């Protein structure tokens, strides 16, 4: 979404002093801003006093060599080149990480999560001038660690079942995991209460809430991403690519055909871009799903092999990754003269994913734009030259990750068998016996087990 | 925690007095200006929240009009306290269904109180969409949680009715869709001049949901485990409040924390020990009745809740050998206790040590936003949130405690998951289970 912002070529100093958020800001906003806070709102002016404009973070940090390479060009083209080069760099980075495998991807997801968290907390600090509350930085990072510990413990215990059974300390940690996580969180809560300083109550409560909302958004989503990844790398790659593609396609269609504005919040978005992006993404998702569904590397659930101590993705591909023949409806048959078509069922699922990415993804972008306007910042941070912070790149991804996770849980997979077995083994023997009998009846009914008379232990 | 606040003598004083705890009266007035020094900027954004008038019912006022104002206040608080405790007993008597509904009502009232404070603080009354959105999000999150609870505990009923089965199968997707609709409505409702307010209220709503709604559902989970797991923790917190107050009143000398100057170490420690004793006694009394001790189950034949079971090991009297020191003191070699009483010590300890932190958190919150009480729902006591601020951490702790130390996974849920697997996975698990059971000698010749 933020690719549509133009950072303005030669005017680096202008950039720094201009604290408006989107390029799409209306002309009146641009005129109104530098000296007239009153333009924003009457209702806002009071709260404005308590959240004054956020000082822009740093100057443009395009690396020197890029600057030299493009200094000959016209400032407008220079900007395009920088953004283009960085986009290409990011996409290549993405491919490299895919090649390096699941462990690398998990580490990258974790780094991105930490960086996003830091960017948002940083904005909170600037907005509330809470730099002088030293405890609070510590507490924010502490809560991040707690919540990550909780989530990683829940997910990892599931997937590393064999490893966990072997090591005694790990078993203890897993059995009392919730209790330990809760105790850690409580320690942080108590530290917060003890750190309340008379003159700073309100600030501290704001930062506490800010931290928690950030954790809710950033950390839970990143764990959903990792759970999707464990389902099969294709469930990570296709959604992420769909969102990126939608961004690019919507931009291109908007650039060439854009005429009717979409929403007042982002005046640069157009209906033509939106619809064009929707269809472009559908086609792209369809093709990408076809390409990736053929490789076991992408399609198989990621498993941890305790003998070799590595992650492997090797299996018998499930039904949705096996070619099926579908008969086309008559209307389409007349058009293209094919009676049936060979598709992976996964491609049909990809249509659902693309639809969501194109329709709801933009709302994530609008939310982030609104957020930046509310706090009068141009970008979340300046990590990526030409693009802004990590959050700017990932703002549309968040809803997508949750949707993919919910989609998988509802339509694709059932519960995890090893987790069910784990739970079974923890029950009381009488309960186990009763479940055993029920299961045996069911299996006999379905013909998986020979009937009672012939069975013997 | 808030019982320690003195509500002041006359109604006028109440309204003008914006400082918080009784203890901070003297410092509060003088330093209200000082306190806002560093907050002058934020202060202009958060003017004082208007306080509503004292709404003690007329009947009480008349009955007490003869007494001195100080005693009048005591009587009002005392009568209301008694009324609340009696009410508590009545709803326990009425059973789990009524308890669940009460928990739901309390949750909604708390949510409304906190959101109301947000409105007052941010002057966001003129954002009509936002009231709707807050309530809508409350509905969504409740739908999600109740759906999960209902699926767990009412599995028979759910499997029978076709529409319920579909709702249950796609529950997460439906909840997520509902939430997304709210999210999109929020984005579409962003108005140019009010971005920041709207984001604040969005954040405020979500944090409130996180605190209030999740905790109330943990309470309901505890309740399903057995009513004793609901009654004992709540009683421990209430008892700790009252005992800490009494000990502080009679023996209080050393202040505990700057945030609440009226709390004392004597009250804290006295409250701790008396709550432990109270918890042990209460558990002894309650463990004898299956009404309290049995998990609440829904009987699909009678379409009602029932509590009828063989009490688990926790609730059977056992003999414990006393350590030698205690033996010489009391002359008893062993003592008969319910194991649950030992668990109750853990619960009481938590209530006495951590419960106050919940109260401090709420006090800090009220000071931060310069409000005296969350609301004026209960005469003499403030709002519902004032009464429940210490309960929240307790509910989570009990839930985590049960999950870690008491029960394993819910067998019905495990069966459900098992039957949802693919047949070859089921067979695999069947074989593993068979080996496991034969090893333990539990499964004979099947």
What residue in A sits closest to B367 (Cα-Cα)? A201
Q: What is the mean pLDDT of chain A?
A: 74
Most confident of A2-16, A278-292, B152-166, B422-436: A278-292
Question: B410 by DSSP, 3-state: which?
Answer: coil
Distance CA B20, CA B364 (A): 9
pLDDT at A100 over 50: yes
What's the pLDDT score for residue B68? 65
Q: Given A367, A406, A421, which is nearest B173 (Cβ)?
A: A406
**Could B396 and A176 be called an inter-chain contact, meaning their C-beta atoms sit closer than 8 Å?**
no
Q: In whole angstroms, how far apart are CA A148 and each of A30, A223, B243, B246? A: 41, 9, 38, 42
Q: Is B445 an 8 Å CB contact of chain A?
A: yes
Q: How many residues can be counted in chain A?
A: 457
* CA dihedral sign of residues B22, B28, B32, B35: negative
Give the gap in angstroms from C-alpha A294 to the nearest C-alpha of chain B. Answer: 23
Average pLDDT rounded to a whole number, residues A79-89: 77
Name which of B196, B258, B443 is nearest A51 (Cβ-Cβ).
Answer: B196
Q: Which of A442-451, B28-37, B351-360 has the highest mean pLDDT?
A: B351-360
Higher-confidence residue: B389 or A92?
A: A92
3-class secondary-structure state, position A311: strand
Report pLDDT digits (tens) over A104-152.
888 888 888 898 888 888 887 777 766 567 677 888 899 999 999 998 8
Average pLDDT over residues B344-350: 92
Residue A204 touches chain B, beta carbons under 8 Å = yes
Q: What is the DSSP letter of B331?
A: -
A178 in reach of chain B (CB within 8 A) = yes
More confident residue, A445 or A186: A186
- Residues B134-150, mean pLDDT to the nearest whole number: 89
**What pLDDT digit, counting tens, does each position of B245-277 carry?**
888 888 888 888 877 778 888 889 999 999 999
Asked whether the CA dihedral B373, B35, B360, B121 is positive or negative, the reply is: positive
- Least confident span in A193-202, B6-15, B313-322, B391-400: B6-15
Percent of chain A with pLDDT over 90: 8
pLDDT category of residue A282 using cuts at 50, 70 and 90? very high
Is beta strand A340-343 parallel, antiparallel or unpaired with respect to B255-257?
unpaired
Interface contacts (A, B; CB < 8 Å): 235
The span from the CA of B212 to the CA of A189, in Å, is 16
**How buried is residue A424: exposed, middle or buried, by Cβ count under 10 Å (0-12/13-18/19+)?**
buried
| pLDDT (0 to 100) of residue A146 | 93
CB B414 within 8 A of CB A425: no
What digits encode the pLDDT tens for the residues B277-324? 999 999 988 888 878 888 877 776 666 777 777 777 778 888 877 777
pLDDT of the residue at B67: 59
CB contact B441 to A (< 8 Å): no
Q: What is the pLDDT of residue B178?
A: 93
For residue A353, name the pLDDT band (cuts at 50, 70, 90): very high
Q: Do A216 and B206 touch (CB under 8 A)?
A: yes
Q: Do A410 and B172 touch (CB under 8 A)?
A: yes
Q: In this predicted model, what pLDDT tens digit does every residue of B405-422 receive, in sequence order?
A: 876 656 666 777 777 676
- Average the pLDDT over A353-369 and give the result: 87
Pick from A40, A41, A1, A49: nearest CA to A20: A40
**How many beta carbons lie within 10 A of that of residue B439, not counting itself?**
9
Strand partners for B304:
B299
Does residue A15 register a pLDDT over 70?
no
Other beta carbons within 10 angstroms of residue B389's beta carbon come to 25
Average confidence (pLDDT) over A161-170: 71
In the predicted structure, residue A394 carries a pLDDT above the cut 70: yes
| A176-182 mean pLDDT | 88
User: Is the CB of residue A135 less than 8 Å away from at least one CB of chain B?
Assistant: no
Contact across the interface for B417 and A436, Cβ inside 8 Å: no
CA of A414 to nearest chain B CA: how many angstroms apart? 6
Is pLDDT of A85 > 50? yes
Q: What is the pLDDT of residue A67?
A: 60
Structure tokens at A421: 């077995």
Residue A56 vs residue B168, higher pLDDT: B168
Q: How confident is the model at residue B277, as a pLDDT?
A: 93
Say if A410 is an interface residue toward chain B (CB within 8 Å): yes
Q: What is the pLDDT of residues A408-424, one digit of tens each?
A: 888 876 656 666 776 77
pLDDT at A24 over 50: no
Q: State how beta strands A303-305 and A310-312 pair.
A: antiparallel
Mean pLDDT for chain B overall: 75
Query: Percent of chain A having pLDDT more than 70?
Result: 71
Which stretch of A128-137, A323-332, B192-201, B340-349 has the lowest confidence by average pLDDT?
Answer: A128-137
| Predicted ipTM of the assembly | 0.76
Average pLDDT estimate for A337-361 = 86
- CB of A420 within 8 Å of any CB in chain B? yes
Count other Cβ atoms within 10 Å, centred on residue A335.
9
pLDDT score, position B359: 83
Number of Cβ within 10 Å of residue A267's Cβ equals 15
pTM as predicted: 0.75
Contacts of A212 in chain B (CB under 8 A): 207, 210
Average pLDDT in the A305-321 region? 72
Length of chain B: 446
How close does chain B come to A314, measured CA to CA in Å?
Answer: 18
* A366 Cβ under 8 Å from any chain B Cβ: yes
Q: Is A428 at the interface with chain B, CB within 8 A?
A: yes
Of B114, B136, B116, the closest CA to residue B124 belongs to B116
């Amino acid at each position: 979404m933020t690719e549509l912002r133009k950072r303005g070529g030669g005017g680096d100093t202008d950039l720094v002093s201009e604290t408006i958020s989107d390029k799409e800001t209306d002309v009146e906003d641009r005129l109104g801003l530098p000296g007239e806070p009153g333009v924003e709102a009457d209702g806002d002016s009071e709260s404005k006093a308590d959240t004054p404009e956020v000082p822009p973070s740093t100057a443009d940090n395009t690396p020197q060599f890029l600057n030299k390479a493009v200094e000959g060009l016209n400032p407008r083209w220079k900007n395009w080149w920088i953004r283009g080069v960085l986009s290409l760099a990011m996409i290549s980075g993405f491919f490299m990480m895919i090649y390096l495998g699941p462990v690398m991807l998990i580490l990258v997801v974790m780094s991105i999560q930490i960086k996003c968290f830091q960017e948002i907390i940083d904005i909170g600090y600037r907005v509330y001038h809470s730099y002088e509350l030293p405890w609070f930085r510590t507490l924010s990072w502490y809560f991040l660690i707690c919540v990550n510990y909780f989530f990683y413990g829940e997910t990892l215990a599931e997937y590393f079942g064999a490893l966990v059974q072997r090591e005694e300390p790990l078993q203890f940690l897993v059995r009392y995991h919730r209790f330990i996580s809760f105790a850690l969180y409580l320690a942080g809560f108590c530290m917060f209460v003890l750190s309340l300083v008379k003159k700073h109550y309100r600030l501290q409560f704001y930062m506490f809430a800010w931290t928690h909302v950030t954790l809710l958004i950033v950390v839970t989503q990143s764990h959903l991403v990792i759970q999707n990844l464990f389902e099969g790398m294709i469930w990570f790659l296709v959604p992420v690519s769909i969102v990126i593609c939608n961004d690019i396609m919507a931009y291109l269609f908007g650039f060439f055909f854009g005429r009717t504005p979409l929403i007042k919040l982002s005046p640069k978005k157009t209906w033509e871009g939106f619809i064009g992006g929707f269809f472009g993404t559908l086609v792209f998702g369809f093709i990408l799903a076809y390409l990736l569904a053929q490789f076991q590397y992408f399609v198989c659930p990621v498993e941890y092999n305790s003998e070799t101590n590595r992650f492997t993705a090797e299996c018998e591909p499930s039904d949705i990754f096996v070619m099926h023949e579908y008969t086309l409806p008559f209307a389409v048959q007349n058009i293209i003269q094919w009676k049936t078509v060979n598709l992976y069922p996964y491609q049909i699922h990809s249509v659902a994913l693309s639809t969501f990415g194109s329709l709801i993804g933009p709302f994530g972008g609008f939310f982030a734009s609104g957020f930046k306007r509310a706090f009068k910042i141009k970008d979340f941070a300046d990590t990526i030259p030409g693009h802004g912070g990590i959050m700017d790149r990932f703002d549309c991804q968040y809803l997508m990750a949750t949707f993919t996770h919910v989609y998988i849980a509802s339509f694709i997979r059932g519960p995890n068998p090893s987790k069910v077995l784990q739970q079974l083994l923890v029950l009381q023997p009488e309960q186990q016996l009763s479940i055993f009998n029920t299961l045996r009846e069911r299996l006999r009914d379905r013909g998986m087990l020979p009937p009672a008379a012939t069975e013997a232990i | 925690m808030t019982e320690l606040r003195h509500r002041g003598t006359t109604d006028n004083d109440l309204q003008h007095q914006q400082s918080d705890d009784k203890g901070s009266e003297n410092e509060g007035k003088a330093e209200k200006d000082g306190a806002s020094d560093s907050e002058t900027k934020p202060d202009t954004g958060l003017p004082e929240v208007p306080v509503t008038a004292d709404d003690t019912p007329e009947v009480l006022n008349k009955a007490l009009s003869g007494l001195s104002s100080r005693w009048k206040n005591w009587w009002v608080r005392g009568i209301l306290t008694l009324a609340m405790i009696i009410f508590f007993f009545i709803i326990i008597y009425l059973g789990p269904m009524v308890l669940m509904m009460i928990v739901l009502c309390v949750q909604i009232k708390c949510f409304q109180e906190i959101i109301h404070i947000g409105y007052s603080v941010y002057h966001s009354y003129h954002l009509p969409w936002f009231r709707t959105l807050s309530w809508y999000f409350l509905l969504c999150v409740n739908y999600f949680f109740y759906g999960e609870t209902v699926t767990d505990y009412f599995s028979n009923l759910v499997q029978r009715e076709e529409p319920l089965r579909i709702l249950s199968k796609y529950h997460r997707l439906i909840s997520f869709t509902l939430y997304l609709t709210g999210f999109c409505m929020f984005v579409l409702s962003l108005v140019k001049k009010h971005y920041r307010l709207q984001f604040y209220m969005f954040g405020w709503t979500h944090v409130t949901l996180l605190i209030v709604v999740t905790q109330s559902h943990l309470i309901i989970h505890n309740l399903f485990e057995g009513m004793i797991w609901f009654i004992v923790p709540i009683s421990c917190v209430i008892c700790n409040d009252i005992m800490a107050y009494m000990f502080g009143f009679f023996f209080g000398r050393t202040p505990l924390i700057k945030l609440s100057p009226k709390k004392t170490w004597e009250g804290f420690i006295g409250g701790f020990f008396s709550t432990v004793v109270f918890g042990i006694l209460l558990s002894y009394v309650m463990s004898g009745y299956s009404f309290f001790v049995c998990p609440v189950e829904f009987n699909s034949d009678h379409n009602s809740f029932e509590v009828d079971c063989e009490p688990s090991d926790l609730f059977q009297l056992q003999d414990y050998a006393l350590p030698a020191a205690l033996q010489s003191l009391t002359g008893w070699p062993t003592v008969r206790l319910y194991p649950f009483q030992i668990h109750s010590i853990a619960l009481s300890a938590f209530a006495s040590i951590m419960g106050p932190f919940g109260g401090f958190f709420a006090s800090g919150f009220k000071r931060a936003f310069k409000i005296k009480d969350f609301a004026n729902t209960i005469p003499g006591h403030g709002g519902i949130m004032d009464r429940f601020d210490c309960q929240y951490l307790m509910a989570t702790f009990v839930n985590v405690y049960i999950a870690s130390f008491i029960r394993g996974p819910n067998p019905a849920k495990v069966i459900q998951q098992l039957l949802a697997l693919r047949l070859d996975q089921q067979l695999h698990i069947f074989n593993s289970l068979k080996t496991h059971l034969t090893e333990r000698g539990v499964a004979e010749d099947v």
